Chains A and B, each alone.
Chain A
């Protein structure tokens, strides 16, 4: 996946929010990234270093919080984390599972002054 365009989106969003909240410099950006997305934290960090220069986010620490894949089984009530995106209940083998988390990709917060 070429993370260039999503990295630009992250940067643009942070610059916008910094301006809105009167931040002159962004020191830290926290991004929540679900394990079941097509995006890579490493690739985003890589593009970030080339895009941040000259913006209010230059030098900011980009922190990724990985969100695991959690499923809930409406049949037996099992709720838990799965490592592989295989949608079969580990308890009752039921196949109607709800995805509780794992598809997130959002900017949680920015810190600065």
Chain B
């Protein structure tokens, strides 16, 4: 019996493809953000709100990942922001290969590329796609214990956005508890509390984004 030492990561091909994607994005000089959240948390709405506030100053592309349909990319295009729709059909997360396939369609030097992942708090955390950082969205309607239930995502996400703060009077959600639990998984997490619906809380979030975009320039 022969024993062969392999020491290869299982996700090696995804990691290699993610590195290739990263090189492509670096050549464009784009800040790339992987937006991850449960279905219905408000990924598209937060991206729309952010896009509205940044599009006059920055060239933005949104890559939409959904199982099926182009509803989300249609919403983005309505704001006159470029959007590419990826339909994963069966996959519950975007992977580096899916992003790799759409790179030839990226023809402009975008300042900001927002990649809206498939609605899912589990799998997207494990699959690098070439992003600069992950941004997790948690809505007030989902419960403040989400960081305990999905520690990996909150550990890896540089930014956590608590959305739907306009619903606070109607839901059992303690923002202080949610923030405390997020910081236990990532003490360095940058946290914003917003309402994509009313626009509340977006000023500091936009300031943060502008700072990150200036760093890229």
**What residues make up the interface of B, taking CB atoms closer than 8 Å to A?**
1-13, 91-92, 122-123, 125-126, 151-152, 155, 183-188
Contact A86 B10 (CB under 8 A): no
Query: A38-B122, A38-B152, A87-B186 are known contacts. Are A108 and B10 too (CB-CB below 8 A)?
Result: no
Chain A residues positioned under 8 Å from B155 (CB to CB): 36, 85, 87
Q: Which of A18, A36, A95 contacts B152 (CB 8 A)?
A: A36
Contacts A9-B10, A105-B11 given; does A96 touch B4 at CB 8 Å: no
12 contacts between A and B (CB under 8 A): A5-B91, A13-B6, A13-B10, A23-B2, A23-B4, A38-B123, A85-B152, A87-B186, A108-B7, A110-B6, A112-B1, A113-B2
Enumerate A39-53 residues with CB–CB distance to B below 8 Å: 39
Contact A1–B2 (Cβ < 8 Å):
no
**Given that A36-B155, A107-B8 are contacting pairs, would A21 and B2 also be in contact in the complex, using a CB cutoff of 8 Å?**
yes
A85, A97, A113: which contacts B151 (Cβ < 8 A)? Answer: A85
Interface residues of A in 79-113 (CB under 8 A from B): 84-88, 95-97, 105-113
Q: Which residues of B contact A85 (CB under 8 A)?
A: 151-152, 155, 185
The proximity string for A residues 5-26 relative to B, scoring 1 for CB distances below 8 Å and 0 otherwise, is: 1100110011001100101000
